[in-house]
Structure 1
């Protein structure tokens, strides 16, 4: 028994080392895209904090969701945040599953390049929207009489660009309403797993969780219904458009994300090695796709049978 456990642990360690080497090579070529995506997250945070300075509390707007859904109350506001944290952490951990499991359907670095592209474009549209019109925040800390409703003007312009109130600034933001940032992350993560995930049941649960998250946001009075509705069609359209412009993952490798030039031919040959043309043939079969889409678990056996018969 101990010999079996030791052998499996050795295989797992070799798998982690091999995947780490591959991901580091991809990271060295695509770091600029990841860095750009992280800078986009910072700019979005600064913009959301900036609109808080000009937010003015006022009476709640008439909202169909507030009328139809029961109000959870300020003491139950953590419910929607708990669901969002669950979605975020579940997706984050799933993107690193190739380091552990044999079914290596994706490359973590390339997937996050794609996800950050979805997020940055959606957040750019969000910034343009909530700076166009500032609505009175429906959340409890954004209403009249709350000390968080409006931020005091800083004594230095540099303080506009320093997000020092995390996580208080995220939890007590006001003014950045249309459209919901929580729904941006939720829908991007759910759509990404829907395309590259392999568990059909998990996909169905993910979409159900997104719907539940939408209702909880409204019931917690963190956003108006319009903020959630606009997020649903805007983010889905953004992801659909950008996804159609980007090359398919993962078989085409990182070189497809870069401009094609004569200098990239040598890099493409290196990527062929990274993308499965060398190494364990079983791993290559597991990374295979049909028509650019990941094969569902139920069809994996059939796919392997066809490949073995060729």
Structure 2
């Protein structure tokens, strides 16, 4: 029994080492995209912090979700955050599962490059939207009479740049349309829908996304329109950007991973290489390899062509 456990532990350690080496190589090639995506997360937080200075509390707008869903109250507002934390951590752990499990369908670095691309595109639309029109926040700390509803003018630029993390993110106001929580939730669910392998988990993920939507409205953190706009906007963003990005390499085929399409320079060099092969009598496609015979400096597809050439030249 001890020998079996030791052998399995050795295999697991080798698997982790091999996977780490592979992911490090991918990280070296694609670190710019990951860094750009992470930097934009800070820019998104900075934009949400900035709109808080513009927020003006007012009467809560009429909302159908507020009529249909009972208000959870301030003492139960943590429920929606707990569900979101569960979704976030579950997805992060899943993206690192190739380090542990034998069934490897994804590369962690490449998956996060795609996820960050989806997030950045959705967050750009969100920033444009909530800066266009500032709605009175329905959250408890954004209502009239709350000291946090409007931020005083900053004393220095450093105060704005630090964004008072994490308190400034949790108690933000004004960044309503559309929900940032739903951006992350839908991007994670859509990514697992495409690259995940367990059908039951996919169905459960969509159910949790619906529950998360209802909890956000019931917690009065967003209006219903913020959730509705997020559902169709994020799905459309993921759909169109996913078609532009190259497909993730199939790990079972052993193909080399690529993040971005070939540049025009690479395409030109590849075309020249193919033409060179054709000029030398080598077909690009192995299925087109056929015996060729050379007569009078000419390459013929079939040996029977020798008789035709002989008759024409009189030899």
TM tier, smaller: 0.7 to 0.9
Q: Distance in 1 between matches of 2:21 and 2:263?
A: 24
Q: TM-score, normalised by structure 1?
A: 0.83
**1:168-247 matched pairs, under 5 angstroms:** 168-247=167-246
Q: Distance in 2 between matches of 1:107 and 1:191?
A: 17
The Cα of 1:229 is off from its aligned counterpart by: 0.2
Q: Distance in 1 between matches of 2:28 and 2:267?
A: 14
Structure whose alpha-carbon radius of gyration is higher = 2
SS of the aligned residue for 2:141 comes to helix
**1:92-171 matched pairs, under 5 angstroms:** 92-163=92-163, 165-171=164-170
Q: Distance in 1 between matches of 2:249 and 2:34?
A: 17
Which protein has greater RCO, CA pairs closer than 8 Å, 6+ apart? 1
Q: TM-score, normalised by structure 2?
A: 0.82
Contact 2:140 2:220 in 1 (8 A): yes
Contact 1:66 1:219 in 2 (8 A): yes
Question: Against the structure 1 CA distance between its residues 174 and 191, is the aligned structure 2 distance closer, same or farther, given a 3 Å change threshold?
Answer: same
Aligned residues: 265
**1:6-85 matched pairs, under 5 angstroms:** 6-85=6-85
Tell me the alpha carbon deviations over residues 55-95 of structure 1, each in whole angstroms, 9 at most, x when there is no partner: 01000000000000000001100000000000000000000
Question: Against the structure 1 CA distance between its residues 103 and 173, is the aligned structure 2 distance closer, same or farther, given a 3 Å change threshold?
Answer: same
For the pair 1:255 / 2:258, whether they are aligned, the reply is yes
Contact 2:71 2:220 in 1 (8 A): yes
Give 5+ residue unaligned stretches, structure 1.
Answer: 267-310
Q: Distance in 1 between matches of 2:259 and 2:181?
A: 30
Q: Distance in 1 between matches of 2:127 and 2:256?
A: 32
Map of 2:295 onto structure 1: none
The Cα of 1:224 is off from its aligned counterpart by: 0.1
Map of 1:2 onto structure 2: 2
Please tell me the root mean square deviation across aligned C-alpha atoms, in Å. Answer: 1.6
Contact 1:96 1:108 in 2 (8 A): yes
Contact 1:130 1:176 in 2 (8 A): yes
Q: Distance in 1 between matches of 2:151 and 2:104?
A: 47
The Cα of 1:262 is off from its aligned counterpart by: 5.1
